[in-house]
Structures are given as structure tokens and as C-alpha cells.
Amino acid sequence: MSATPSPARRTGGRSAAVLAAVRSAVEELVQERGSGQVTIPMVAERAGVNPTSIYRRWGDAPSMINDLATYRISPDRPLPDTGDLREDLTRWAQEIIEHFRQPAAAALLRGGAAAAGAGDSDCLRNRRAEATLLIERDGGEVPVEEVIDHVIAPIVYRVLFRPWTLDDELAPALVGRLFAGR
């Protein structure tokens, strides 16, 4: 009786290349057409992949766009850790602002928010989780929802409606207002 060979395992090479091609195609198409006009067949054609690969991973275009909207700000990246909550929040906010200065990232945020519908977008869930980690690590002196309302919400508003105001003074100003009177 001979042993059945186990199937070869993918190490991520082809999958990583497909994912990168899909991400790039989505970014381009969302910038060109807006998120509501992007379909999986369009993405597949632009990325040079089979649509079934995309359907298998995401199921539909809104889910794909919502997921990819958070890609560039990796949840696995290290968060600022200076030992001072105010400084950590300022550096974190600045990183988010710099990210959304990129037109493709801003376009994906718009698409991801629209795709989320009535629920939280992946982007908001990830930012809330990061804010929670920063606050808990540094003593928990600020409620997470206040960070969302006073730091993240104004950044997102500016990304959506006033992108030219995403300047280097914004992060310290928003965090300063959060801590005013504390």
C-alpha cells in the first residue's frame, strides 16, 4: 500500500500576487469611476485574474471594497508607544492623515464607507480597536468614543469633503482639543 502524497501547499506567492493585482485594480477603478460603479468582473479584467477568485474571497463588490479600504493602514503595524497618551494619539492621528492624503486611499475610504451600509466600516472598526489599545496601554484616561468623535471623525470628514485641509497641524490640533480641560 503506497502512501498518498499530500497536496502541495501554496506559500503565498501566487495568492499574494493575485491579491496585489486586485488591490491595485480596485484602487484604480474606484478613483476612475467611484465605488458604486465598480464590479467584480471589471476588477478581474483589470487585474488579469479570474472573477471566481475574487468572488471566492469577498463574495461581492461592496465587501471587497470595504475590506480593501483598510489595506494600506495595516492593523499589524506597530502603534506609537512613547509612554505618553497625548503624544501617541498625535502620532497615530498624523499617520492616519498622511495615509488619507493619498488619493487612492481617500477613494477607497469613500467606497468602504458606502459599502458598509448601516454598520461600521472595517476602517472604523480597525481605528476603534487601535484607539482602544492606545488608551488601555497608557492608563485609560480618555473614553474611546471621545477619540473617535474628536480625532477620527474630523479626519474622515476632511477626507470626504475637504481633503485640502489634511495638513500637518491637524493631528496636534485635534488631539489638543480632545485633551482640553482634562
- For the chain, what is the mean pLDDT? 82
Residue bearing the bigger pLDDT, 104 or 120: 104
Name the band, by pLDDT with cuts 50, 70 and 90, for residue 32: confident
Instruction: Enumerate the H helices of the chain as residue ranges.
Output: 13-33, 40-47, 51-58, 61-68, 85-100, 103-116, 122-137, 144-147, 153-161, 170-179
Q: Where are the domains of the chain?
A: 14-68, 85-179
Query: Looking at the predicted structure, is the pLDDT value of residue 27 above 90?
Result: no
| Angle (deg, nearest 10), helices 153-161 and 170-179 | 150
**Amino acid 147: pLDDT:** 95
CATH topology of domain 14-68: Arc Repressor Mutant, subunit A (1.10.10)
Query: Looking at the predicted structure, is the pLDDT value of residue 7 above 60?
Result: no
What value does the mean pLDDT take over residues 103-110? 77
For the entire predicted model, the pTM comes to 0.69
Query: Looking at the predicted structure, is the pLDDT value of residue 39 above 60?
Result: yes
